[in-house]
Amino acid sequence: MKRPYIPMVVIVSALGFLFSSCATSGGAGYGELAAQGVDVFAGKNWNAPRRNNMYDRWEFNTDGTFHFWHVHHGEALDRGVYRYRLKNGTITITKEGREETAAYTYTFSGKTLTLTPVRPGDGGAEPGLSGGHHEMGALPETTTAFTKAR
């Protein structure tokens, strides 16, 4: 008498292994990818916390730029295009056509991006860089947690 369940067990086990290995190989988190030098911002959108029916939305492109929108009561106000550069866990931001820059350290936890301003003299910051400037369109001046948007 043949036992048909033995080949079935082998097939099910092989499929389980295949699917579990696929899930882990492509599932590196933002923090892991950033440590590998991947531009983890490109093609992603992030929303700052809502306050009084307002929030900021940053829409990152794959060319090293992002569009800054300030959404007030559902109306999107255009804050312009910004350039960004990633280096050693820091994102440096420059508004198109402006000289001044803002720098932030960044960390990821799940679908949350936390930006912390780097002030001149902070370790790891390039000389002359500072945190958010109102002249640059109200970039965050304090630590801010963004959530991944669709």
Q: Within this chain, do residues 7 and 67 fall inside the same structural domain, yes or no?
A: no
Per-residue pLDDT at 133:
40
C-alpha distances out from residue 70 to 55, 94, 126, Å: 6, 17, 28
How much of the chain exceeds pLDDT 70, in percent? 69
- Give yes or no for a contact between 120 and 130, defined as CB atoms under 8 angstroms apart: yes
Give the chain's mean pLDDT. 76
Domain count within the chain:
2
pTM as predicted: 0.68
Q: Within this chain, do residues 56 and 5 fall inside the same structural domain, yes or no?
A: no
In this model, does residue 139 exceed pLDDT 90? no
Mean of pLDDT values over 75-95 = 92
Q: Within this chain, do residues 43 and 21 fall inside the same structural domain, yes or no?
A: no
Q: Within this chain, do residues 76 and 109 fall inside the same structural domain, yes or no?
A: yes
Q: Which of 55, 49, 30 is nearest to 41 (CA)?
A: 30
Is the Cα dihedral 80, 85, 91, 97 positive or negative?
negative
Q: Provide the domain limits for residue 126.
A: 39-149
- Which ranges in 4-109 belong to alpha helices (H)? 5-25, 30-35
Q: What is the pLDDT of residues 1-13, one digit of tens each?
A: 555 555 554 444 4
Q: Within this chain, do residues 136 and 71 fall inside the same structural domain, yes or no?
A: yes
Q: Within this chain, do residues 71 and 135 fall inside the same structural domain, yes or no?
A: yes
Q: Within this chain, do residues 11 and 51 fall inside the same structural domain, yes or no?
A: no
Burial call 35-54: b when 16+ CB within 10 Å, e when fewer: eeeeebbeebbbbbeeeeee
Stretch among 4-18, 36-50, 109-123 having the lowest mean pLDDT: 4-18
Residues in the chain: 150
